[in-house]
Amino acid sequence: MAFLNASRWTVVAALAGLAWFTPVFAQAQAPGSRGITIDFKSVKCGDEDDPLSHDEPYLIVTKFRFKMELAGTSPRMVPGTLRVENVMTGHGSLGNKRDSFTRERRTWNIPRTVPHLAQEVVPPNEKGWVVGAAVTYMEKDGFSAANARFLSSKVRDLVQGSITTMSFTEADTRRLTDQMMKKVTSDLSRSFKKLHIGGMIRGIASAVDPDDYGGTALIVTVTGDSGKVFYSVGMPSDNVASVLAGVREISGPTAFSLRFPMGDLSKVPSNARFQGRSTVNGEIRIWRLEAPF
């Protein structure tokens, strides 16, 4: 009987473990791999942009990953390691295609059945990996569904271009240190500061009233020495000191909140500026896929 009870709890534990790893199991490359998950959980509407327009928010979440190395004292991206793709995109990306489904001072929980994870698996104990997401807040207004999808694809292209053309801070060492990886975070932030999404919206607006843009936030995680993982969350900035001051080590599940509108929207057409208030909430998690028994 003791054996049967033990077997039963072994099965329960196995099923529980399977449930935990199912969303990421297909990405795992080897036992002991380290997973980095940026989980988008909810959107809180603080103030509607236009209560009479039946608008609905949507997110363009573009995830990216690449690996850094040093050539002498010059940091560079390891060729072939860059991957950029959209996780959430276009009208209805929050899991509800109805108009005006958000209400002021209400929180909309993003259904777990829709894509909501910016997630990567990287080799264990390797420093120099960068995993992150650009989060663009939009509100449905005048764009057709096709134009919203086209905008999402162009945002992905802009993100990839910002990464491939970024300039890295010269290293003062011949190895990848924690401080060097923190500097990579500031390099990314400075590069993303140049994203010209407002001009792109102006260029593809086929409607009199295009969808409204609320800004783009940046979430970056980097792997450092001794299994450390650092993160930075917020508005892209070319102020290196302020970005570095905001980099923290992850010690457990870490909640984040992104408040929109964010950044300077002066280059966005006046009829395409999000003028309400919303908060995107989520969590960053680090996990390991352990070897099987």
pTM: 0.85
Do the beta carbons of residue 117 and residue 37 sit within 8 Å?
yes
Q: What is the pLDDT of residues 64-95, one digit of tens each?
A: 999 999 888 788 999 999 999 999 999 999 98
**What value does the mean pLDDT take over residues 94-104?**
73
Structure tokens at 164: 């491939």
How far apart are the C-alpha atoms of 207 and 140, rounded to whole Å?
Answer: 12
Distances in whole angstroms, Cα of residue 69 to Cα of each of 188, 230, 263: 15, 17, 31
How far apart are the C-alpha atoms of 27 and 74, rounded to whole Å?
Answer: 31
Q: What is the pLDDT of residues 154-183, one digit of tens each?
A: 999 999 999 999 998 887 777 889 999 999
Domain ranges of the chain: 31-288
**pLDDT at 102 exceeding the cut of 80:** no
- DSSP-derived secondary structure for 142-210: S--HHHHHHHHHHHHHHHHHHHHT--PPPPSSSS--HHHHHHHHHHHHHHHTT--HHHHHHHH--SSSP
| Alpha helices (runs of H) in the chain, residue ranges in sequence order | 2-25, 145-164, 178-192, 197-204, 240-245
- Portion of the chain with pLDDT greater than 90, in percent: 55
Strand partners, 280: 43, 258
How far apart are the C-alpha atoms of 268 and 128, rounded to whole Å?
Answer: 35
Distances in whole angstroms, Cα of residue 101 to Cα of each of 116, 136, 145, 187: 18, 19, 17, 38
Structure tokens at 251: 């010690």
Structure tokens at 201: 């919206």
How far apart are the C-alpha atoms of 52 and 237, rounded to whole Å?
Answer: 34
Pick the more confident residue, 291 or 39: 39
Angle at 247 between CA 58 and CA 244, to 5 degrees: 110
